[in-house]
C-alpha cells in the first residue's frame, strides 16, 4: 500500500473524481441513485471495492521532476563592474 500511495498524485485523483461526479450528477437522474439507499453497509463496501478494482492507477501517477541544473557563478569583469539599482537611485536623488 505504501508504494501505491507514494506514486499516486492526489491532484490527478481528486480532479478525476470531481469531473466524474459532475458528469454523473448531470447525466443520471436522481431516481436512479435511490438503489444505493437500500444497500447494507457491507453491500455498499463490496460495490465500491468492485468499482475501485477497475481503476487504472497508471493514469494517476505523479510526474517526477528532473533535478535542476546548477548555474555557473558569474565571472567578475573589472571592465563592467556591477552597480545596484538602489545605489543608482540613491545618487540620482542627491544630485540636482
pLDDT one-digit tens code per residue, 3-26: 666 788 889 889 999 999 999 999
Percentage of the chain lying above the pLDDT 70 cut: 92
Distance between CA atoms of residues 8 and 65, nearest Å: 14
The whole model's pTM is what? Answer: 0.52
Residue 77 has pLDDT above 60, yes or no: yes
Cα 33 to Cα 21: distance, rounded to the nearest angstrom: 13
Residue with C-alpha cell 497508471? Answer: 58
HSE value, Cβ hemisphere, 13 Å, CA-based, for 53: 6
Mean pLDDT of 66-70: 90
Give CA–CA dist 59/47, Å, rounded.
22
Distance (Å) of CA 45 to CA 2, 39, 40: 22, 9, 9
Q: Check residue 84 and give its pLDDT.
A: 86
Q: What is the spatial distance between Cα 21 and Cα 27, in angstroms, rounded to a whole number?
A: 10
Amino acid at each position: 500500500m505504501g508504494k501505491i500511495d507514494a506514486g499516486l498524485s492526489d491532484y490527478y485523483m481528486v480532479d478525476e473524481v470531481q469531473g466524474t461526479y459532475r458528469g454523473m450528477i448531470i447525466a443520471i437522474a436522481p431516481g436512479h441513485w435511490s438503489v444505493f439507499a437500500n444497500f447494507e453497509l457491507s453491500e455498499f463496501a463490496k460495490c465500491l471495492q468492485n468499482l475501485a478494482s477497475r481503476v487504472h492507477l497508471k493514469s494517476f501517477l505523479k510526474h517526477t521532476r528532473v533535478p535542476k541544473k546548477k548555474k555557473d557563478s558569474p565571472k567578475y569583469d573589472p571592465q563592467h563592474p556591477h552597480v545596484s539599482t538602489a545605489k543608482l537611485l540613491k545618487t540620482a536623488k542627491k544630485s540636482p
